[in-house]
Amino acid sequence: MSARHILVINCGSSSIKFALIREDREDTLLSGIAERLGSAESELRWQSGEQQHSLKIPHAGHRQALEQLLPQVQQHADGKLSGIGHRVVHGGEHFTAAHLLDAAALAAIRSVSALAPLHNPACLQGIEAALGLYPELPQVAVFDTAFHQSMPAQAFRYAVPEQIYREHGVRRYGFHGSSHRFVGRRAAELSGLPVNDSSWLVAHLGNGCSTCAIVNGQSRDTSMGLTPLEGVVMGTRSGDVDPGLHLYLGRKLGWSLQEIDNLLNKQSGLLGLSGLSNDMRTLEQARSEGHAGATLAIDVFCYRLAKSLAAMSCALPRLDGLIFTGGIGENSPLIRSQTVAHLPLLNLAIDPQANARSVGGQFGEIQAGNHPRILVIPTNEERQIALDTLALLPD
Ligand code: AMP
């Protein structure tokens, strides 16, 4: 049988990110984004190898953008696209794994949309457009939350009355599942350990950041919660704050819940702390020039991250290693070393030279001497989504 190709789609309300993956190749054949959909500035941009392309598609919606994109995809797939994998943010408790898209699955995704009111309806728009264009092609939904459905109740339940959980689904779900799953498996492979007998801490550090405890290939705890706002400090998200903050700001400033939500999701995190930027590269540069806000933002980011990793260690029977991934985790020796410096009680220590070398999408093993492994592993959420899709294709 010739190698199969999967198109991976990640829809936002006005954008579609896409990647074409071939099962026997680690690289991406074609990737890009359709942006500002629904406006006069709608544009499709894609790259294959070194070549960059763009196409203006004024007023295109999701369906029109996919129509423009699919001939490119078919050309790069030698006309043999085997399936489409859709990234879906929230699967609630309904989805514990990826799922073939049929009418029942669509209804179930719709039924959990209240948990992700901005994201799931956007995903559904993309799914419906793709199903309309390719009704015969197998299509699969891969959920950010599904990997974390293996968490035990002691990790996923909040200490609120049972009824709030049972009737309204208020619990920890966790996100970044495809990334945590991908790097957890890769870490076991690279370390020569069986996935089903391995035990990892993961720090996924991108614009969004989360930690995870993975035991025997399964998530046992994670820092994000009901929404992606909980946990460690992120680019513009605050991570954990006292829930009493809402009432305090409401009373003191007369702010609505919507305004407070906007503050915590869009104006906080690295951006809020530094008063400068949500981008770690900018902050590292500013810190080196003595910028106090950037220095504080990095200090809080690393300390809070280390605290979260130490908390995650409660879910592990032993520590086979700590994994750094995501744009910051894969590229910032400073953040890795400053975080690990807070974790001597986990016996973690970094080799400075190996740390400095492990940048730019390279795998690296960066622990000092006989200390537990610290691995830098480039994540590949698109590949994980493609693998999950391939596993569900009919023979
Ligand atoms: P992601 O969402 O995974 O693409 O990660 C985005 C984050 O990675 C941003 O905060 C970037 O500033 C950060 N990042 C990318 N490259 C570097 C780098 N060389 N050093 C520090 N941070 C980086």
What DSSP letter does each residue of 314-358 carry, written as one string?
Answer: GG-SS--EEEEEHHHHHH-HHHHHHHHTT-GGGT--B-HHHHHH-
237 annotated as ligand-binding = no
Q: Strand 218-222 relative to strand 51-56: parallel, antiparallel, unpaired?
A: unpaired
Q: What is the helix (H) or strand (E) element at residue 107, kind and residue range?
A: helix 103-111
Token readout for 225 is: 């919660």
Q: Which residue has the tokens 């559904």?
A: 124
pTM score of the predicted model: 0.96
Cα 37 to Cα 229: distance, rounded to the nearest angstrom: 26
CB atoms within 10 A of CB 217: 17
Domains of the chain and CATH, by start: 5-143 (3.30.420.40), 192-381 (3.30.420.40)
Ligand 1 within 6 A of CB of 328:
yes
224 annotated as ligand-binding = no
Whole-number Cα distances in Å, 51 to 25, 36, 105, 360:
19, 22, 37, 20
Task: To the nearest 10°, report the CA torsion of 43, 48, 50, 54.
Answer: -20
Kindly write down the DSSP assignment for every residue of 56-87, as one continuous string. E-TT--HHHHHHHHHHHHHHHTTT-EEEEEEE
Cα 76 to Cα 48: distance, rounded to the nearest angstrom: 9
Ligand 1 within 6 A of CB of 280:
yes
281 annotated as ligand-binding = yes
Residues marked as catalytic: 144
Which residue out of 179, 281, 335 has the highest number of ligand 1 atoms within 8 Å of its CB and is therefore the one to mutate? 281
CB atoms within 10 A of CB 311: 14
Note down pLDDT in tens along the chain; length 395 residues: 789 999 999 998 899 999 999 999 989 999 999 999 999 999 999 999 889 999 999 999 999 999 999 888 999 998 889 999 999 999 999 999 999 999 999 999 999 999 998 889 989 999 999 999 999 999 999 999 999 999 999 999 999 999 999 999 999 999 999 999 999 999 999 999 999 999 999 999 999 999 999 999 999 999 999 999 999 999 999 999 999 999 999 999 999 999 999 999 999 999 999 999 999 999 999 999 999 999 999 999 999 999 999 999 999 999 999 999 999 999 999 999 999 999 999 999 999 999 999 999 999 999 999 999 999 999 999 999 999 999 999 87
